Chains A and B, each alone.
Chain A
Amino acid sequence: MSTTRKRVYGYLAEFSSASALYKAAEKVRDAGFRKWDCHTPYPVHGLDGAMGMKRSILPWFVFFGGMLGTATGFGLAYVTQVEIYPTVVQAKPVNIFTVPAFFPIMFELTILFSGFTTLFGLLALMKLPRLNHPLFASRQFHRATDDAFFIAVEARDPKFSPDGTRKFLEDIGGKSIELVEEED
C-alpha cells in the first residue's frame, strides 16, 4: 500500500540560535507573511513582538465569561433566597439590599466561569486538541523540543512560492531547509 498524493504544508528552516531566530522572525514579519510560526525548545522573550503578533482576543472572552459568572451567582442566590424561598436569619431583611450575603457566591462563580472560559477559549483558539500535525512528518522537527530553533512558513500563505520562499529563508540565515509534505 502506498500513498500517491501528497500536499505541501510549507517550508521548515532551522536557525542556529535563539537570537538568530529572533532576527529572522523580524524579517519574516517585515516581508509580510501571515501563515507562519516559530518553534523553540523554550520560551523566547519578546518573540511575540518580533513575530508581529497581535494581542489575543482571549481576555475579552474571559471578561464576559466572568461577568456571566457574576450574573449567574447573583441570579441564583437572589431567585432562591429572596424570591422563591426567603431565608430570614436574625431578623435581617430579605431584599435586593441583602446582596452582600451573595458576594461570596458571585465571586466564586466569577472565578469559575473565568477559569472555564480561559481554558476552553484557549483550546478553541489554538484548535486543540488534535491528533496530528503536518510538521510531524519532518524527520528533524522533533529537535524543536530539544536543541533546534525552527521557522515554518505555510504554503497557504498568499506570499508563498516554492522557489522564492526557499531563497528568502536561505537569505535570512535558515539552514536544513525542508519542504514538508503531509499525506492527503
Chain B
Amino acid sequence: MAHHFVTSADIPVDGERLVNSKVESAKRLAGGTAALTGLVSAYFLFGPSEKITAQFAYSWLFAFFFFFTLAVGGCFWTLLHNVSNSGWGTSVRRVMENLGSVFPWMAIFAIPFACPQVQKYLFEWMNIHREAGGGYFDGFMAGFYGSDSMKAALEAKHEGLLVNKLWYMNLFAWYVRFAFYFIGLGLVIRTLRKFSIAQDTDPNPTTKNLFKARFHSTYTLIIFAITITFAGIDLLQGMKYEWFSTMWGVYLFAGAALNSMAVIIITCALLQKGGYLKTVTGPEHFHIMGKLLLAFTIFWAYIAFSQFFLIWYANIAEETSWYLIRNTEGWNTGSIALVFGHFVIPFVILLQAWLKRNPKLLSIMAGYTLAMHILDHYIITIPERSISLYRMANFPTADWMKDLAVFKDVTTSVPGAFWFDIFAFIAIGSGFLFFYLRALTQTAVYPHRDPRILESANVSN
C-alpha cells in the first residue's frame, strides 16, 4: 500500500467526534423542514379533503418506502459485517450502524399506514374485509390466521381469492406484523449499536463486545430478512391483492442493499472531505465499497430481470397485470429507462477499478444510483394510484368512494399529483436526514477501540 502504515499511535485515544458547525446547521435545517412539512403532510393525510388524502396516501407510501429501504439496508450491512467476521470495514462500520439506527425512527413516518383513513385508499383488500363485516379475533390463535366469521363473510360476498389469502391477509395479522417490523429490527440495530459504542468508552477494551455483536448478528439476520420481505409484501404488494411475485422480497432487498451502500459511500466521502476518517480510511476502502456497489447493481438487475422473466414466461393474468400497467404509455418509458439507467450505464462505469478508488467520482456514481432508486420506487408505487382511484370513483362499493368522483376520468396518472410526490419525498427525506445526522454526531466517527481497527486501516485489496 502506498500510504503510511497506520499504528495505534495514529489513532486518537478518545476517538474522532463529528463536531462541525456545517453539520449542526444542516441537522437543524433538516429537523425544521421535517417538522414543518410533517405538519402539512399530517393535514394532507388526515385533513378534510378526501381528494387530497387519496392522492397523497400514495405519495407518502412511495417516499416512505424509499427511505425505509435505505434504513433497512444500513441494518443489513451492520449485520453482515458482524456475522461475516469482517476486518476490512471496521473503520466504516459506525457509518453503517448510524444509518441503520434511523430505522426505528421510520416508525413515525409509518403511522399513517396504520390508520384506516389512509389505508382505505391504498389497500383495497382491507376495504373488502371491513365492508364484509366479519369479526377479527375469533378462530385459531385469536384469528391470527384469519377469523372464522371473516371467512364466512368473505365467502358470502364471493371473494374467493381473499378467502384463500385470509391466512396471511387479515387485519389482525397485518397489524401484528406491522408492529413487529419496527420493534423487532429496531431492537436489533439499537442493541448492535450499543455494543459498538460501549467499546469506545471501555477503559480496558477486549474482544468481548466484538464477539457479542458477532453472535447476536446471526439469528437476527432472519429478523432482517423477514422485515424487508414481508414489509414489502404488506405495504407494496398489498396495494394490489390479486398480484403476487415470488421474487418480490428479494427484489426489494437488492435495491435496499445497493442504495444503502450508496449512502454509506457518500457519507464516508463527505466525512473525509470534512477532515474526518482520514487516518483509518483510504482508497482501498472506497475500492471495496465500490465493488459492493457494482456487485449489487448486477444483483439488482439479475433479480429484476428474473422477476420479469418468470412472469413473462408463465403469462398468468394475475401476474402480468403488474407489468402490463408499467409497460404501457408513459410508464413504459420509465421502465425502459430503468433497464439502462439502473443497470447498463452504472455497470459499465463501475467496472473501472481506478474510478472506485476515487471517493469523489464514486460518490457521484452513488448519487446517480440513488436517483435511479427513486425512479425504481416511483414505478413500483405510483402507477397504482390512478388505477385504484379510477376503480373507486367509477365502481364505488361504499358511500365515501362517491366523494372521489373527480377521479372518474383519470388515465395512466393523476394530473398534478406529481407535486404531492415531491412534497412527501422532501418531508420524509428531511426527517431521515435529521435522524441520520443526529446519529452521526452522537458517537465517534469510527470505533477507535475496536480490536480490528488497525487491520481495517491497513487493508489492501
Chain A residues packing against B (C-beta within 8 Å) = 45-46, 63, 90, 92, 100-101, 103
Residue pair B315, A103 in contact (C-beta under 8 Å): no
Collect the chain A residues with CB atoms within 8 Å of residue B460's CB. 45
A1 to B1, CA, bound (A): 54
A45 to B461, CA, bound (A): 10
Which chain A residue has the least Cβ–Cβ distance from B314? A90
Collect the chain B residues with CB atoms within 8 Å of residue A103's CB. 305, 309
Could you say which interface size class chain B belongs to?
Answer: under 10
A7, chain B: closest CB distance, angstroms: 40
Collect the chain A residues with CB atoms within 8 Å of residue B309's CB. 100, 103
Collect the chain B residues with CB atoms within 8 Å of residue A63's CB. 351
Q: Which of A45, A46, A90, A100 has a CB less than 8 Å from the CB of B315?
A: A90
Collect the chain A residues with CB atoms within 8 Å of residue B351's CB. 63
What string of 1s and 0s marks CB contacts (under 8 Å) between B282-307 and chain A? Answer: 00000000000000000000000100
What string of 1s and 0s marks CB contacts (under 8 Å) between B304-339 and chain A? Answer: 010011001001000000000000000000000000
What string of 1s and 0s marks CB contacts (under 8 Å) between B176-207 and chain A? Answer: 00000000000000000000000000000000
6 nearest interchain CB pairs?
A90-B315, A100-B312, A100-B309, A100-B308, A103-B305, A92-B315
Which chain B residue has the least Cβ–Cβ distance from A104? B309
Which chain A residue has the least Cβ–Cβ distance from B460? A45
5 contacts between A and B (CB under 8 A): A63-B351, A92-B312, A100-B309, A100-B312, A103-B305
A45 to B309, CA, bound (A): 43
B38, chain A: closest CB distance, angstroms: 42
A69, chain B: closest CB distance, angstroms: 15
A60 to B315, CA, bound (A): 40
A126 to B406, CA, bound (A): 72
Which chain B residue has the least Cβ–Cβ distance from A103? B305
A46 to B3, CA, bound (A): 13
A46 to B5, CA, bound (A): 15
Q: A92-B312, A100-B309 given. 11 additional CB < 8 A pairs?
A: A45-B460, A46-B1, A63-B351, A90-B315, A92-B315, A100-B305, A100-B308, A100-B312, A101-B312, A103-B305, A103-B309
Which chain A residue has the least Cβ–Cβ distance from B313? A101
Chain B residues packing against A (C-beta within 8 Å) = 1, 305, 308-309, 312, 315, 351, 460
Which chain B residue has the least Cβ–Cβ distance from A63? B351
Collect the chain A residues with CB atoms within 8 Å of residue B1's CB. 46
B319, chain A: closest CB distance, angstroms: 13
Collect the chain B residues with CB atoms within 8 Å of residue A100's CB. 305, 308-309, 312
A63 to B352, CA, bound (A): 12
A46 to B312, CA, bound (A): 49
B339, chain A: closest CB distance, angstroms: 10
A100 to B460, CA, bound (A): 40
A45 to B315, CA, bound (A): 53
A108, chain B: closest CB distance, angstroms: 14
A103 to B306, CA, bound (A): 10
A100 to B305, CA, bound (A): 8
A119, chain B: closest CB distance, angstroms: 20
A101 to B315, CA, bound (A): 13
A94, chain B: closest CB distance, angstroms: 14
Collect the chain B residues with CB atoms within 8 Å of residue A101's CB. 312
A100 to B351, CA, bound (A): 24
A100 to B308, CA, bound (A): 9
Which chain A residue has the least Cβ–Cβ distance from B312? A100
Collect the chain B residues with CB atoms within 8 Å of residue A92's CB. 312, 315
A101 to B1, CA, bound (A): 46
Collect the chain A residues with CB atoms within 8 Å of residue B305's CB. 100, 103
Which chain B residue has the least Cβ–Cβ distance from A98? B312
B315, chain A: closest CB distance, angstroms: 5
A100 to B307, CA, bound (A): 12
A115 to B299, CA, bound (A): 20
A63 to B351, CA, bound (A): 10
A99, chain B: closest CB distance, angstroms: 10
A47, chain B: closest CB distance, angstroms: 13
Collect the chain B residues with CB atoms within 8 Å of residue A45's CB. 460
B352, chain A: closest CB distance, angstroms: 9
A100 to B309, CA, bound (A): 7
Which chain B residue has the least Cβ–Cβ distance from A101? B312
Collect the chain A residues with CB atoms within 8 Å of residue B315's CB. 90, 92
Which chain A residue has the least Cβ–Cβ distance from B308? A100
A172, chain B: closest CB distance, angstroms: 22
Of the listed residues A45, A46, A63, A100, the one surrounded by the most CB atoms of chain B closer than 10 A to its CB is A100
A97, chain B: closest CB distance, angstroms: 9
A3, chain B: closest CB distance, angstroms: 48
B460, chain A: closest CB distance, angstroms: 7
A36 to B147, CA, bound (A): 81
Which chain B residue has the least Cβ–Cβ distance from A97? B327
Collect the chain B residues with CB atoms within 8 Å of residue A46's CB. 1
A53 to B254, CA, bound (A): 38
A43, chain B: closest CB distance, angstroms: 13
A99 to B45, CA, bound (A): 43
A45 to B308, CA, bound (A): 44
A137, chain B: closest CB distance, angstroms: 37
A136, chain B: closest CB distance, angstroms: 34
B217, chain A: closest CB distance, angstroms: 31
A45 to B351, CA, bound (A): 22
Which chain A residue has the least Cβ–Cβ distance from B1? A46
B37, chain A: closest CB distance, angstroms: 40
A15 to B268, CA, bound (A): 42
A103 to B305, CA, bound (A): 9
B199, chain A: closest CB distance, angstroms: 31
